[in-house]
Amino acid sequence: GTAPDLAGRHVVVSAGGTREPLDPVRFLGNRSSGKQGYALARTAAARGARVTLVSANTGLPDPAGVDVVRAGTAVQLREAVLKAAADADAVVMAAAVADFRPAAYATGKIKKKDGQDPDPIVLVRNPDILAEVSADRARPGQVIVGFAAETDDVLANGRAKLARKGCDLLVVNEVGERKTFGSEENEAVVLGSDGTETPVPYGPKEALADTVWDLVVGRLA
């Protein structure tokens, strides 16, 4: 809808995929293009919200009328989201955040050594931003929305993830090498912490975004 039902509200949206550097040349990353998060930012702005878009490694143009903050790694994304969330009415975490990062960063390019096997890549956990913003709400009544990118047992994993993360709404979508990542369309079920399930049929990422904002508006009221 284009009703200004988010007028006077500040919403924070994260989009894209974090990159966790190994050396100046390589990183561990994922297939997120940022399109779903940017659709959320555009539709929120169209509905009258002040929007802060925390964007991780997307090649997309800045949406008109949206404050864009860039973040490369999960640690940087956390800083940017927590800062913007301090006075936000809603936070929507559409970014694909790496659960782990390399334990060590090599300041020079890692070289192959003749006749030697490569060193294993040791990983450490990244902070869980969604769990943190859900546990420490910056203001009472703040609505927190997560996404769940699943490949198997999509709904069962989604329900478990909603409980674990402690958010109000979880948008469960199926992903694969050519599914959802980078495409213009998506299909999802939005799970509510109150047990509700809102299916969203296959269609433009804007349509899913508008359904998310409808559910957020209902919870802000």
- Where do contacts with ligand PMT occur on this chain (CB under 6 A)? 32-36, 74, 93-97, 99, 126, 128-130, 146-149, 173, 175, 180-182
Q: Which is nearer to ligand PMT, 10 or 134 (CB)?
A: 134
Is 30 an active-site residue? Answer: yes
Are 94 and 13 in contact by the 8 Å Cβ rule? The answer is yes
Smallest separation, CB 115 to ligand PMT (Å):
38
Residue 130 is labelled as binding a ligand: yes
Smallest separation, CB 66 to ligand PMT (Å):
16
Are 122 and 103 in contact by the 8 Å Cβ rule? The answer is yes
Smallest separation, CB 198 to ligand PMT (Å):
15
Sequence-separated (6 or more) residues with CB below 8 Å from residue 148: 157, 158, 161, 162, 170, 171, 172, 173
Residue 27 is labelled as binding a ligand: no
Residue 100 is labelled as binding a ligand: no
Are 126 and 98 in contact by the 8 Å Cβ rule? The answer is yes
Q: Whole-angstrom Cα distance, residue 18 to residue 104?
A: 17
Torsion angle in degrees (nearest 10) through CA of 138, 139, 142, 147: 0
Residue 111 is labelled as binding a ligand: no
Q: Which is nearer to ligand PMT, 71 or 95 (CB)?
A: 95
Q: Which residue positions form the known binding site for CTP?
A: 99, 109, 127-130, 147, 161, 165
